[in-house]
Amino acid sequence: MKKEGDRLVMSITPGADGVYVGTAFDPQRDMTYKLSVTVQGDKMTTKGCIVAGLLCKGIDWPRIN
């Protein structure tokens, strides 16, 4: 489980239809995730997957003014 202060090393590039894709490495857990990032209006959605894309979790992030 992720907690405040955890760090990820991310490498993302623009993909199709405004979705950014890449990987995120979690050095604390020695795990690499497939990652997608989508921005729509005032919301950013990140989605990470492991186990060949079988286990995924997405999180919505509101824009901070």
> Is the pLDDT score of 17 beyond 90?
no
Q: Considering the chain, what percentage of its residues have pLDDT values greater than 70? A: 92
Mean of the per-residue pLDDT values of the chain = 87
> Is the pLDDT score of 21 beyond 80?
yes
Who wins on pLDDT, 19 or 52? 19
User: In terms of residues, how long is the chain?
Assistant: 65
pTM over 0.75: no
- Quick check: 21 and 13 in contact, CB under 8 A? yes
**Given this model, what pLDDT does residue 3 score?**
64
